[in-house]
């Protein structure tokens, strides 16, 4: 019984991270109908900045909480700036062009990853936990950091739901994702909405990097693995669907947890890919998508 | 005087001046090719290796170069990124051999690209050094290939025997390896040696390089309660994470990373959980027992990569020194002649006097004879706990001094 | 397809082969062979865009072809031409299965499913020992009589396949494909089995990719699973976009340019990613329709000028 609880909690936590990550991906697709391969770079940049700046600030005498809050803010801000640049000088011209935007994003990945490797070096860095220690929940040992992750994920998912459902911007984004021409006729400022959507997605990617940094091995290539799984989650759930992204992410989290335990991580990876392909056969637009 | 005569006169003067100032030896450069990862997760290994090749070349050139047949040659290291796969490895091989005309490959890192390189070098009569581990990479069919570091065949047995000797009560071991060439090569040998010393292998699992979520597999291993957890070919940062998760899952025991090349990554991700881990391919050139040369090399690599030097990179320094010795012994810069001289010479590498041997194991002497160094993480530093010098080397040096 | 285009393309191919003959087997010859293979993969990708889909699984089919050729040569010891043909047929067969199952999805879903498929197949290679696992498969050599002029063979074969694909594109079958891309409901209403036609298109693409894979194996002599990751599909897509996806010569131009840039970038060590990335970004921003798109717009603007001049003259006369 204890094993089962452990596995469920792990699956939940792994899934929670993918949720934050894939919400951004699905949002961009919904609003701009593009697939952004460079989404993982926001994750990486934030995580790297935190890894590098935290020791600096801690050394300067800031308290742990102060230093951490500061570097998280800086990391997320840097990613937002990067996101803005990518939008203005790139994605803005490729909306609704699937192939073009995809290739452009690949170009960005090569460029950004190359620059990050050049400036930060290839070594893996460690980031201390935001909250040290662990507690025993239901007979299972869980570190506080993982609980923080689940908590952050819940909070921001709820926030996103609220924004999409109850604010003008959110409703405009939903309108655009359903039928952008009709939305424009209604007077919705499409360009502004696209930018807003892109920046929200960027924020979510950066946030994922911030919460995961203490638990991952931070290096310029850390975003890649999460990116692939994030895409899988998004296709599984249905591109453009927020509940779909959540369902897809949790699904992958559970397979990774259970598969990794009963078999091994390598097998779990293969299983994820195969299951996604099967799911798409049954529901070609994703579990909850509508094209 | 007419202009034409003036010009002719100046030309004659210029020619004679240049004749007089011609050096007694003419300087030429020998290109040493490197096929190494310079991007992606293996980048640090590649960058460090390149620095060590450059450093060795600098030393050789500064001390008078390589003297062969009345000429003096300088070494120059030329490195290209092989991205750890065969297709890029082929491009690098083609560029080095066909475009740059290199006749010596001072190092190839990564089994797949090394094989791509070898496919060309053996046919083109080029001498190649490699850090690739599989035993099939050398042998009588590949007379121009030399291994520049200890492979699992040399490493694993001393390491495991040492551990069993120090902890005689251990009975079970769980193996976990990355699903790549190093992992696959190490696992096969480790499994055999553990069984040989009487420790039962109760699990052998695989994970994909690039995974960062080790909680599930750590939980699985912890549940089996092995006395030893052997992470074989896992890179140190991965290993650190695994041990951390194992600790969180409540497991305690002997921790081994056979192919562990350095403690920095291990300690940064593992924290306290890294304590007591045994590493087989790491060196500690910060240790008080390190020589001046070793300390200097370590400082240089640290500056270039941010991490201490490891056993893989050292092979690149050793190869260059070995080449100088072999070329001077053979008095030739033709790869075939140098290859024949290589097993006969000794040279000053990073570990001291070294040579090439291993005929009994491989059929032809292509294995570098350097000590196996067992290290352990003790209190946030890496300590050397055992050093096994190559028996063959000891005998050879003894015979030479008689 | 008109006589001019046919004879034109064969002449161009003959010239290319002559250049390859001249280069013998040095570095430039190898570079040319890689360019030819890249052009073939990109053209295969373009062929599948006729039905309006981006076949991101192209890398998987290239890999399957490469391993099929390698396995059939080194282990089954089949003769060269048979093993090369087998490479294409094996990929095509898997392509039929893959297409039948996945072509029910469209657009980004099909793209990402192709992505997932490529990764799964790659992982499977690493677990199969007889294929060499992660260390790769070695010893894939062309027969002795072709060894020194393998580039000529490669250029010839890839050129031939590209011409055949163009012929199909201009034929009735090709028009069916384009019809499906533009509006598959209309095609369905005419009584054509849209799904199986799409599968046919994909399997032809897979066949071509498989041959490209077999050629890769023979040119490089050593293959590893990492050679056939999604990055290969991505680069093929880059060749297509940079060269111009509307024109059949587009993928060839893109392949030649980017493979050439890649060989220069090797000099920059780890920095070649940055170089390649910038090249792709700049090309996409400055010439979104690719090289041939630029040429076409240049041509049509000239035509426009001519028409204006004619009408001006006509007005004056």
Interface predicted TM-score (ipTM): 0.83
pLDDT of residue A289: 66
Neighbours of chain B (3+ CB pairs under 8 A): A, C
Q: Does domain B153-279 have CATH number 1.10.10.10?
A: no
pLDDT tens column, A67-85: 888 889 999 999 999 999 9
pLDDT string in tens for chain A (291-residue length): 677 888 888 888 889 989 998 898 888 888 888 888 899 899 999 999 988 888 888 778 778 888 888 889 999 999 999 999 999 888 888 887 777 888 889 889 888 988 888 888 777 787 877 777 777 776 677 778 888 888 888 999 899 888 888 888 888 888 887 887 788 888 888 888 888 889 999 999 999 988 888 887 788 877 777 888 888 888 888 888 888 889 999 999 999 888 888 887 778 888 888 888 788 778 777 777 654
pLDDT beyond 50 at B11:
no
Are B216 and A122 within 8 A, CB to CB? no
**Helical residues (DSSP H) of chain A, grouped into ranges:** 2-32, 39-59, 64-88, 98-120, 144-166, 168-178, 180-185, 190-212, 223-237, 242-262, 265-282
Query: Over 80: is that where the pLDDT of B190 sits?
Result: yes
Which residues make Cβ contacts (< 8 Å) with residue A224, sequence separation at least 6? A40, B210
Q: Domain of A243: which CATH number?
A: 1.10.3470
pLDDT (0 to 100) of residue B297: 92
pLDDT at C101 (0 to 100):
84
| A287 domain-assigned | no
B27-149+290-370 and B153-279, same CATH topology: yes
Q: Is residue A291, in this structure, part of any structural domain at all?
A: no
Q: What is the pLDDT of residues B273-288, one digit of tens each?
A: 889 999 988 888 877 7
Whether B1 has a pLDDT exceeding 50, the answer reads no
Taking residues B214-225, report their average pLDDT: 89
What is the spatial distance between Cα C4 and Cα B206, in angstroms, rounded to a whole number? 58
C146 is written with which tokens?
Answer: 């072709």
Please state the φ and ψ torsions of residue C81, each to the nearest 5 degrees. -65, -40
| DSSP secondary structure letter of residue B367 | E
Tell me which chain A residue has its CA closest to the CA of residue C105: A284
* pTM as predicted: 0.85
Number of inter-chain CB pairs under 8 A, A vs C: 123
CATH topology of domain B27-149+290-370: Rossmann fold (3.40.50)
Give φ, ψ of B75 to 5 degrees: -95, 145
For A227, the domain range is: 2-282
Residue A211's beta-bridge partner residues? none
What pLDDT was estimated at residue C314?
61
In a domain, A60, yes or no: yes
| C-alpha distance from A126 to closest chain B C-alpha (Å) | 5
As a whole number of angstroms, the distance between CA B124 and CA B118 comes to 10
pLDDT on residue C270: 65
Residues of B in contact with A123 (CB under 8 A): 44, 264-265, 305-307
Smallest CA–CA distance, residue A115 to chain C, in Å, is: 7
Cα–chain center distance at B365: 17
Residues of A with Cβ-Cβ distance to B243 under 8 angstroms: none
Q: Where are the domains of chain B?
A: 27-149+290-370, 153-279
H-type alpha helices, B72-148: 86-94, 111-124
Task: Please indicate, yes or no, if residue A245 is contained in any of the structural domains.
Answer: yes
Q: Tokens at residue C105, please?
A: 């999805």
pLDDT per position as a tens digit, C264-282: 888 776 677 787 788 888 8
C216 and B87 in contact by Cβ < 8 A?
Answer: yes
Residue A153 lies in a domain: yes
Residues of B within 8 A of C34 (CB-CB) are 91
Q: Identify which of A99, A109, A239 has the shortest CB distance to residue C237.
A: A99
What is each CA distance from B192 to B158, B288, B360, in whole angstroms? 13, 35, 20
| Chain A residues closer than 8 Å to C276 by CB | 107, 110
Which pLDDT tens digit goes with each residue over C204-247?
999 999 999 999 999 999 999 989 988 899 889 889 888 888 88
Q: CB B112 to CB C224 under 8 A?
A: yes
- Residue B21: what pLDDT? 40
Rounded Cα gap, residues A273 and C18, in angstroms: 45
Which backbone phi and psi does A162 adopt, to 5 degrees? -65, -45
Instruction: Please write the tens of the pLDDT for every residue from C180-189.
Output: 888 888 888 8
**How much of chain B exceeds pLDDT 90, in percent?**
49
Residue contact A276–C276, C-beta within 8 A = no
Domain total for chain A?
1
- Average pLDDT for C284-311: 77
pLDDT digits (tens, 9 = 90+) for B384-397: 888 888 888 888 88
| Mean pLDDT computed over every residue of chain C | 87
Candidates A16, A124, A125, partner chain B, best to mutate (most B CBs within 10 A) = A124
pLDDT band at B130 (very low <50, low <70, confident <90, very high): very high
The domain total for chain C is: 1
The answer to whether A230 touches A18, Cβ cutoff 8 Å, is yes
Residue in this structure with the two tokens 């600790």, named with its chain if needed: B247
Task: Give yes or no for C268 touching A (CB within 8 A).
Answer: no
Nearest-angstrom CA–CA distance, B395 and C228: 47
Q: Measured between alpha carbons, how far is A43 from A201 in angstroms, rounded to an integer?
A: 11
The Cα C37–Cα C20 span in angstroms is: 14
Mark out chain B residues that contact chain A at CB-CB < 8 A. 39-44, 47, 176, 179, 205-208, 210-217, 219-220, 223, 237-238, 240-241, 248-250, 264-265, 268-269, 271, 305-307
Tell me the HSE value of C143 on the side-chain side, using a 13 A CA sphere: 10
- State how far the Cα of C139 lies from the Cα of B143, in Å rounded to an integer: 16
What pLDDT, in 10s, does the model give residues B322-350? 999 999 999 999 999 999 999 999 999 99
Greater confidence, B73 or B5?
Answer: B73
Angle, in degrees to the nearest 10, between helices C194-220 and C172-189: 150
Query: At B14, is the pLDDT very low, low, confident or very high (cuts 50, 70, 90)?
Result: very low
Residue B142 in contact with partner chain C when CB distance is under 8 A: no
Compute the distance between CA of residue A289 and CA of residue C220 in angstroms, rounded to an integer.
Answer: 43
Least confident of B17-31, B154-168, C75-89, C227-241: B17-31
Average pLDDT, chain B: 86
Touching partners of C (3+ C-beta pairs < 8 Å): A, B
CA distance, residue C199 to nearest chain A CA (Å): 15
Q: Rounded to an integer, what distance in angstroms lies between the CA atom of residue B298 and that of residue B62?
A: 20
Q: How confident is the model at residue C315 (pLDDT cuts 50, 70, 90)?
A: low
Interface probe with B: pick from A141, A254, A260, most Cβ of B within 10 Å = A260
For the record, the structure tokens of B124 come out as: 């083109």
């Amino acid at each position: 019984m204890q094993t089962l609880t452990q596995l469920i909690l792990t699956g939940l936590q792994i899934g929670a991270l993918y949720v934050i990550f894939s919400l951004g991906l699905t949002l961009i697709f919904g609003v701009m109908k593009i697939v952004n391969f460079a989404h993982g770079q926001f994750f990486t940049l934030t995580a790297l900045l935190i890894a590098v700046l935290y020791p600096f600030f801690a050394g300067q005498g800031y308290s742990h909480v102060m230093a951490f809050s500061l570097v998280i803010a800086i990391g997320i801000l840097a990613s937002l700036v990067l996101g803005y640049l990518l939008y203005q000088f790139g994605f803005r011209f490729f909306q609704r062009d699937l192939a073009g935007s995809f290739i452009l994003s690949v170009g960005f990945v090569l460029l950004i990853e190359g620059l990050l490797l050049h400036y930060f070096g290839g070594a893996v860095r460690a980031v201390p936990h935001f909250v040290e220690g662990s507690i025993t929940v239901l007979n299972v040992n869980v570190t506080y950091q993982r609980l923080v992750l689940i908590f952050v994920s819940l909070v921001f998912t709820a926030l996103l739901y609220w924004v999409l459902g109850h604010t003008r911007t959110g409703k405009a984004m939903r309108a655009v994702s359903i039928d952008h021409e009709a939305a424009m006729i209604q007077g919705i400022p499409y360009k502004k909405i696209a930018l807003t959507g892109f920046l929200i997605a960027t924020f979510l990617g950066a946030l994922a990097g911030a919460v995961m940094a203490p638990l991952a091995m931070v290096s310029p290539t850390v975003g890649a693995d999460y990116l692939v799984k994030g895409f899988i989650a998004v296709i599984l759930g249905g591109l453009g669907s927020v509940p779909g992204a959540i369902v897809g992410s949790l699904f992958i989290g559970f397979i990774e947890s259970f598969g990794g335990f009963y078999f091994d991580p390598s097998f779990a990876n293969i299983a994820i890919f195969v299951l996604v392909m099967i799911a798409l056969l049954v529901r070609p637009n994703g579990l909850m998508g509508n094209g | 005087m007419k202009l034409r005569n003036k010009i002719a006169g100046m030309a004659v003067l210029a020619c004679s001046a240049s004749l007089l100032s011609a050096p007694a030896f003419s300087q030429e450069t020998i290109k040493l090719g490197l096929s190494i990862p310079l991007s992606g997760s293996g980048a640090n290994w590649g960058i460090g290796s390149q620095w060590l090749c450059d450093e060795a070349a600098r030393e050789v050139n500064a001390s008078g170069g390589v003297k062969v047949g009345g000429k003096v040659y300088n070494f120059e290291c030329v490195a290209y990124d092989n991205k750890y796969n065969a297709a890029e490895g082929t491009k690098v091989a083609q560029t080095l051999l066909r475009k740059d005309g290199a006749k010596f490959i001072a190092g190839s890192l990564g089994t797949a690209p090394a094989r791509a390189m070898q496919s060309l070098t053996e046919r083109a009569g080029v001498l190649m050094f490699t850090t690739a581990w599989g035993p099939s990479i050398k042998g009588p069919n590949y007379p121009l290939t030399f291994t520049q570091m200890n492979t699992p065949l040399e490493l694993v047995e001393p390491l495991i025997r040492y551990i069993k000797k120090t902890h005689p009560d251990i009975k079970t071991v769980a193996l976990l390896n990355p699903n790549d060439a190093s992992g696959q090569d190490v696992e096969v040998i480790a499994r055999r040696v553990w069984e040989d010393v009487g420790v039962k292998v109760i699990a052998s699992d695989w994970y994909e390089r690039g995974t960062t979520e080790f909680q599930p597999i750590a939980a699985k291993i912890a549940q089996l309660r092995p006395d030893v957890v052997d992470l074989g070919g896992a890179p140190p940062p991965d290993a650190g994470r695994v041990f951390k998760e194992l600790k969180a899952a409540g497991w305690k025991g002997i921790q081994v990373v056979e192919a562990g090349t350095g403690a920095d990554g291990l300690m940064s991700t593992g924290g306290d959980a890294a304590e007591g881990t045994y590493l087989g391919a790491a060196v500690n050139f910060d240790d008080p027992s390190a020589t001046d040369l070793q300390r200097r090399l370590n400082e240089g690599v640290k500056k270039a990569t941010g991490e201490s030097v490891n056993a893989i990179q050292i092979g690149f320094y050793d190869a260059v020194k070995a080449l100088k010795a072999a070329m001077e012994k053979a008095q030739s810069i033709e790869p075939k002649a140098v290859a024949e001289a290589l097993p006969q010479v000794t040279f000053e590498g990073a570990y001291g006097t070294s040579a090439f041997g291993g005929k009994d194991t491989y059929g032809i002497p292509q294995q570098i004879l350097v000590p196996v160094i067992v290290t352990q993480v003790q209190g946030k530093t890496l300590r050397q706990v055992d050093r096994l010098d190559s028996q063959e080397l000891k005998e050879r040096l003894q015979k030479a001094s008689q | 397809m008109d006589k001019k285009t046919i004879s034109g393309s064969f002449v161009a191919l003959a010239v290319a082969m002559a250049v390859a003959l001249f280069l013998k087997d040095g570095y430039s010859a190898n570079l040319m062979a890689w360019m030819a293979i890249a052009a073939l993969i990109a053209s295969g990708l373009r062929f599948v865009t006729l039905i309006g889909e981006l076949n991101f699984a192209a890398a998987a089919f290239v890999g399957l072809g490469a391993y099929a050729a390698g396995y059939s040569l080194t282990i089954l010891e089949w003769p060269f031409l048979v093993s090369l043909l087998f490479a294409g047929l094996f990929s095509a067969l898997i392509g039929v299965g893959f297409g039948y199952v996945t072509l029910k999805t469209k657009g980004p879903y099909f793209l990402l499913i192709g992505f997932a498929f490529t990764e799964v197949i790659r992982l499977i290679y690493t677990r199969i020992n007889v294929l060499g696992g992660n260390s790769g498969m070695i010893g894939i050599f062309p027969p002795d009589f072709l060894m020194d002029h393998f580039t000529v063979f490669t250029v010839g074969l890839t050129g031939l396949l590209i011409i055949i694909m163009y012929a199909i594109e201009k034929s009735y079958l090709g028009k069916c494909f384009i019809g499906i891309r533009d509006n598959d409901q209309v095609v369905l209403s005419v009584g054509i089995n849209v799904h199986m036609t799409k599968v046919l298109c994909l399997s032809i693409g897979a066949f071509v990719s498989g041959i490209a894979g077999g050629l890769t194996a023979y040119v490089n002599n050593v293959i590893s699973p990492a050679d056939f990751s999604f990055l290969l599909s991505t680069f093929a897509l880059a060749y297509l976009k940079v060269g111009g996806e509307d024109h059949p010569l587009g993928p060839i131009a893109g392949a030649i340019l980017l493979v050439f840039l890649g060989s220069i970038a090797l000099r920059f060590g780890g920095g070649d990613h940055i170089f390649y990335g910038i090249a792709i970004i700049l090309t996409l921003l400055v010439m979104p329709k690719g090289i041939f798109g630029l040429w076409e717009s240049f041509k049509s603007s000239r035509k426009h000028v001519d028409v204006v001049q004619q009408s001006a003259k006509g007005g004056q006369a």
